[in-house]
Amino acid sequence: MVLYGGVSTEHEVAIITALQVMNALKGAGHEVFPVYISKNGEWFLGDERFLKPEFYKNLNEIRVLGKVVEIGAGSRGKILLKKMAWWQEMDKKIDVVFPVFHGKNGEDGAVQGWLNLVNLPYAGCSLLPSAVAMDKSISKMAAISIGLKVAEEVLVIKSEWERDKKAILEKIKKLGKNVFVKPSGGGSTIAVGRADNQKDTERLLEVAMVYDERVVVEKEIEEPIEVNISILGNNPYEVSITEQPIASGKVLSFEDKYVRGSKGSKTQGMASAQRLMPAGVSEKTIKEIEEAAKRFFAIIGGKGIARIDFMVDKKGVVYFNEINPMPGSIAFYLWEKKGMKISNLVDKLVNLAIEDWQERQKLVTTFESNILAGYAGAGGTKGKI
């Protein structure tokens, strides 16, 4: 079952990645159950039409053509079809779930936590690494804990900003003249901007807080080169080649990622963006980035696949920037350069999901005790805890 879409600002981007994943899974010999989650959170089971890009030109039509479904606790991996006033168990049984979401309510651990509760194998990172990865500030704390360098930042909490803007702006001023403002839990460069004065900083903070209650303001790294790398496995890991995205301005924008490189052709999501592969940095720097990626993914308990983004300053110093636990286009273009087809990549992710689920079944999840035998309730005198 491929779960995709979702209640997220990156909804359409997730659809593009899901189309790539579903067609690759089908090409690898898997039976695919497309389950599209609308922007309102409704689930729709689809047919072969859901694997075609042109089907998504009008998202409202999916509500008419899809079957309303859900997977409930105790469903034993069966899809439940909604009838008039009840749910009917379908004969479709799920072996593995492939969640394809970008941003909140899917890539951030929300769906992964639910899949843990219904005890189904699923591709990609589990709840904790997904949650850590989706918060830029917390992921940087994890990076610092293993000795990686990060850009200096001020984390702005919306409620604190509303109480005392002046004090927060004073902290931000210490970062220097130029700063980057980013929603801490955002992606696809939505609501990300560069400020070179206080007025711009205030404006960008107000915009970012429309999307998130936690906003990161980062000190600008001097003359940076962005270097990204994908990582694959359940530890031990393997790494892809590196890429250096080409930005049209000071910030790699949404248009740079998804629009500019695909003009005149069918969009390929992140695969269509302009980039250098491998990145234009020294072999020594690439080795440093490869090792940093493996150490970081291990410390957060990463599984399946991710793309980890770094910055290299003009002196060659490497900075951890952020991690994408379900990267756009599943970063297949980085593995393709190493000779791995997208069909092989999705097949490997399915196998990794099953291996991880089998390992989790070996863990003790309950503990038998007799503490309730002597417990007399809140007003009793026996068995106080």
Inside any domain, residue 381: no
Confidence grade of residue 237 (pLDDT, cut at 50, 70, 90): very high
Could you count the other beta carbons within 10 Å of the beta carbon of residue 67? 14
Confidence grade of residue 381 (pLDDT, cut at 50, 70, 90): low
pLDDT value at 27 more than 70: yes
pLDDT value at 265 more than 50: no
pLDDT value at 256 more than 60: no
The pairing of strands 2-5 and 237-245 is unpaired
- Mean pLDDT check: name the lowest of 45-49, 183-187, 255-259, 308-312: 255-259
Same domain for 83 and 177? Answer: no
Same domain for 351 and 229? Answer: yes
pLDDT value at 373 more than 70: yes
Inside any domain, residue 45: yes
pLDDT value at 268 more than 80: no
The predicted model gives 224-247 an average pLDDT of 96
Residue burial 294-317, b: 16+ Cβ < 10 Å; e: rest: bebbeebebbbbbbbbbbbeeeee
Same domain for 251 and 301? Answer: yes
Inside any domain, residue 98: yes
Confidence grade of residue 127 (pLDDT, cut at 50, 70, 90): very high
pLDDT value at 232 more than 80: yes
Same domain for 209 and 241? Answer: no
Inside any domain, residue 146: no
* Distance from chain centroid for Cα 24: 20
Q: Which domain range does residue 178 map to?
A: 152-219
Q: Indicate the number of domains in the chain.
A: 3
Confidence grade of residue 253 (pLDDT, cut at 50, 70, 90): very low
Segment 55-97, tens digit of pLDDT:
999 998 888 889 999 887 776 778 888 887 778 888 888 999 9
CATH number of the domain enclosing 185? 3.30.1490.20
Query: What pLDDT is attached to residue 377?
Result: 76
CA distances from 199 to 24, 169, 178, 203 (A): 47, 10, 12, 6
The predicted model gives 102-122 an average pLDDT of 94
CA distances from 276 to 36, 229, 265, 309 (A): 33, 12, 20, 14
Query: What pLDDT is attached to residue 348?
Result: 98
More confident residue, 96 or 9: 96
- Residue 98 CA to residue 112 CA, distance in Å, equals 10
pLDDT value at 361 more than 50: yes
Confidence grade of residue 261 (pLDDT, cut at 50, 70, 90): low
Give the orientation angle of helix 342-360 with respect to helix 11-27, to 10 degrees: 100
CATH number of the domain enclosing 51? 3.40.50.20
Same domain for 333 and 352? Answer: yes
pLDDT value at 257 more than 70: no
- Mean pLDDT check: name the lowest of 17-26, 71-80, 175-184, 238-247: 71-80
Strand partners, 309: 228, 322
The H-assigned helical ranges of the chain are: 11-27, 62-65, 110-118, 127-134, 136-145, 158-163, 165-173, 198-208, 254-258, 283-299, 332-336, 342-360
Query: What pLDDT is attached to residue 271?
Result: 60
The answer to whether the beta carbons of residues 230 and 237 sit under 8 Å apart is no
pLDDT value at 359 more than 60: yes
Same domain for 190 and 253? Answer: no
Could you count the other beta carbons within 10 Å of the beta carbon of residue 68? 14
Inside any domain, residue 229: yes
Query: What pLDDT is attached to residue 192?
Result: 92
CATH number of the domain enclosing 233? 3.30.470.20
Inside any domain, residue 268: yes
The answer to whether the beta carbons of residues 385 and 375 sit under 8 Å apart is yes
Query: Computed from CA positions of residues 203, 107, 126, 119, in that sequence, does the dihedral angle turn out positive or negative?
Result: positive
Strand order across the beta sheet in which 43-45 lies: 87-93, 78-82, 67-70, 43-45, 34-37, 2-5, 98-100
The answer to whether the beta carbons of residues 263 and 199 sit under 8 Å apart is no
pLDDT value at 283 more than 80: yes
The predicted model gives 313-342 an average pLDDT of 96
Same domain for 287 and 160? Answer: no
Same domain for 209 and 327? Answer: no
Return mean pLDDT, the chain.
Answer: 90
Confidence grade of residue 267 (pLDDT, cut at 50, 70, 90): very low
Domain boundary among 201, 219, 237: 219
CA distances from 338 to 17, 241, 286, 291 (A): 20, 7, 15, 18
Domain boundary among 177, 192, 219: 219
Same domain for 157 and 206? Answer: yes
Query: What pLDDT is attached to residue 298?
Result: 98
Segment 296-314, tens digit of pLDDT:
999 999 999 999 999 999 9
Same domain for 332 and 316? Answer: yes
Inside any domain, residue 131: no
Same domain for 89 and 112? Answer: yes
Confidence grade of residue 248 (pLDDT, cut at 50, 70, 90): low
The predicted model gives 207-226 an average pLDDT of 94
In which residue are the tokens 């379900």 written?
Answer: 326
pLDDT value at 258 more than 50: no
Same domain for 346 and 245? Answer: yes
Segment 46-64, tens digit of pLDDT:
999 999 999 999 998 888 8
Inside any domain, residue 371: no
The pairing of strands 225-233 and 179-183 is unpaired
- Residue 50 CA to residue 275 CA, distance in Å, equals 30
Confidence grade of residue 337 (pLDDT, cut at 50, 70, 90): very high
- Residue 186 CA to residue 137 CA, distance in Å, equals 11
